[in-house]
């Protein structure tokens, strides 16, 4: 009889020590007043796990189970707004991208862009979605490297065309360090479907030092770009793992953008952990 040992799997909202070592230096420090100390501040690590719990499960803030030790939903929401105002999530994404580049896991030879509709209740950066019978919606715009790692993401109304977000996406790519020399900010080639077909846009992309490879409208399918563009579709599928991003419940657009940026960072961290696990199992292989 063969006995199989069970490996303890951590829950997706639990933060390991390695990830927390990356996040903790980025969080703003809050000093308590000696004269009016008030209630003790809930630990940042537990609050961050509560934010991840909401991001993964899509649960409402008021339904956040306090028996898990994350604090109340209002505590997590206020801390999320505080860290969003401090710019924690773009910094976290930039740090993780630098770690991936130092591990030779980023491929800037080409990038892929696309957009995806989601249903929204109300708030800024919403509009009548043309693919959801005119209901109120928003749109996620994403650019990835050649392997599908998210480089930047933006949020617009559901009635915005994809062609309007190609230049903002290229300009939103942070300076990625991790190797000697200047930080890398632009891919060599950007791939897009027929929704990005515009001659003026091509000239603007060339001005940024990027070669556009965009399918022409009115031509037959089978250009071959889909063999390389599928990575951005897979990245959207990874984003839909986070149930909070399937429907936009937040009225404030900055809070939803915070969830979007945090999800991109978590995807980068998972890729980094996978690479470390492979290097640990096969230390002699490149």
**Which residues face 213 on adjacent strands?**
191
For the residues of 130-198, what is the DSSP string, one character each?
TTTTT-EEEEEEEEE-TT--EEEEEEEETT--GGGGHHHHHHH---B-SSSSSPB---SEEEE-GGG--
Domains observed in the chain: 109-247 (3.30.420.10)
Q: What is the pLDDT of residue 24?
A: 94
Does the model's pTM come out above 0.75? yes
φ and ψ of 45, to 5 deg:
-65, -40
Phi/psi of residue 70, nearest 5 degrees: -80, -10
Instruction: Determine the average pLDDT of the residues in 20-38.
Output: 79
Measured CA to CA, the distance from residue 257 to residue 241 in angstroms comes to: 16
Q: Summarize pLDDT for 244-284 with one digit per residue, the tens.
A: 999 999 999 999 999 999 999 999 999 999 887 777 555 55
Over the stretch 185-196, which tens digit does the pLDDT of each residue have?
Answer: 999 999 988 888
> Does residue 66 surpass a pLDDT of 90?
no
Query: Helix, strand or coil for residue 82?
Result: helix
3-state per-residue secondary structure call for 4-24: CCCCCCCCCCCCCHHHHHHHH
pLDDT of residue 132: 83
- The pLDDT assigned to 12 comes to 78
Q: What is the pLDDT of residues 146-187, one digit of tens each?
A: 999 999 999 999 988 888 999 999 999 999 998 988 999 999
**Spatial separation of the C-alpha atoms in residues 102 and 145, rounded to whole Å:** 15
Question: What whole-number distance in Å separates Cα of residue 257 and Cα of residue 153?
Answer: 9
106-145 pLDDT, tens digit per residue, is: 999 999 999 999 999 888 899 988 888 888 999 999 999 9
Average pLDDT in the chain: 87
- Cβ count near 205 (within 10 Å): 23
- Band (pLDDT 50/70/90 cuts) for residue 37 is low
> What distance in Å separates the CA atoms of residue 21 and residue 59, rounded to the nearest whole number?
27
- pLDDT for residue 223 is more than 90: no
């Amino acid at each position: 009889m063969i006995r199989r040992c069970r490996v303890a799997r951590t829950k997706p909202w639990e933060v390991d020590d390695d990830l927390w070592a990356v996040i903790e230096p980025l969080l703003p420090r809050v000093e308590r007043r000696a004269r009016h100390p008030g209630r003790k501040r809930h630990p940042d690590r537990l609050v961050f796990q509560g934010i991840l719990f909401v991001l993964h499960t899509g649960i409402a803030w008021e339904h956040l189970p306090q028996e898990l030790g994350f604090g109340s939903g209002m505590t997590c929401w206020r801390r999320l707004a505080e860290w969003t105002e401090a710019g924690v999530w773009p910094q976290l994404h930039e740090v993780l991208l630098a770690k991936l580049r130092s591990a030779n896991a980023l491929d800037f030879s080409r990038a892929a862009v696309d957009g995806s509709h989601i249903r929204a209740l109300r708030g800024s950066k919403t509009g009548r979605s043309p693919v959801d019978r005119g209901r109120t919606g928003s749109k996620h715009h994403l650019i990835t490297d050649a392997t599908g790692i998210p480089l930047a993401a933006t949020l617009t109304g559901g009635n915005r065309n994809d062609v309007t977000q190609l230049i903002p996406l290229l300009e939103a790519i942070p300076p990625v360090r991790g190797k000697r020399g200047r930080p890398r900010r632009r891919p060599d080639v950007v791939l897009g479907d027929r929704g990005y077909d515009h001659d003026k846009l091509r000239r603007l992309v060339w001005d940024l030092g990027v070669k556009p490879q965009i399918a022409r409208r009115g031509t037959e399918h089978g250009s071959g770009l889909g063999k390389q563009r599928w990575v951005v579709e897979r990245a959207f599928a990874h984003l839909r793992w986070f149930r909070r991003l399937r429907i936009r419940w937040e009225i404030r657009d900055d809070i939803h953008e915070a969830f979007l940026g945090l999800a991109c960072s978590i995807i980068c961290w998972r890729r980094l952990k996978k690479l470390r696990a492979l290097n640990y199992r096969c230390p002699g292989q490149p």
